[in-house]
Amino acid sequence: MVCDACGRVRERPESEVCEHCGAGTETAAAPPPESRSGSRSRDRDEQGRARNARPRDGLGRPLPYDSPGVARQPEGVPRSPGQALTEAQRLLDEGMPFHAHEVLEDAWKAAPEAERGLWRGLAQLAVGLTHAARGNATGALALLDRGAGAIAPYADTAPYGIDIAGLTGWARELTRRLEESGDPVPAAGTAPRLRTGAP
């Protein structure tokens, strides 16, 4: 889960307050119209946790309640590492890096301790691309740097065929591009290849 206020990956997504910036889980989102009139309380998921129910676009930005949106990735789906990488790649190729990050975040949460940094770094790279496509160069630069740093220790082993060298090179190139212009990038056209030899 990513904080809508600061754009950082939440380390404790069950908390109602972002541990990085202190924002509430719905700080950046307008409340539903019904709650402004006092007749509807905060959006909640099936477990009763606060969760914004607004539809989202392909880059994960909240839309008005009555807008059609892109279906969110269900949370907690058990996938093998290969399945997670395949699904994340599909979403990246379709220009939906925010949704790819959700798949990678599930893999991070389910990964053995020795691999958590890898999956967290991949999720951060996806969020970095999300911010780059949204035009938030500052957030993109921070997450690209963090993500590349998190996956770098896995370069010698490259688990699951993940192209660590290619991904760190991609992050450096996107960083250079953003530092030069700061302009939004096309998400699908800028998406990295997660695995060696991937089309």
Q: Which domains does the chain have, with CATH numbers?
A: 1-53 (no CATH), 81-190 (1.10.3450.10)
Using pLDDT thresholds of 50, 70 and 90, give the confidence band for residue 27: very low
User: Average of pLDDT values for 68-84?
Assistant: 85
Q: Has residue 6 got a pLDDT over 60? A: no
CB neighbour list of residue 102: distance below 8 Å, 6 or more residues apart: 1, 72, 73, 75
pLDDT at residue 65, as a whole number: 83
Using pLDDT thresholds of 50, 70 and 90, give the confidence band for residue 146: very high
- How far apart CA 140 and CA 98 sit, in angstroms, is 12
Instruction: Report pLDDT digits (tens) over 151-174.
Output: 999 999 999 999 999 999 999 999
Q: How many CB atoms lie within 10 A of CB 41?
A: 11
- How far apart CA 53 and CA 63 sit, in angstroms, is 10
User: Average of pLDDT values for 124-128?
Assistant: 97
Q: Has residue 4 got a pLDDT over 70? A: no
Running DSSP on this structure, what letter comes out for residue 73? P
Using pLDDT thresholds of 50, 70 and 90, give the confidence band for residue 58: confident
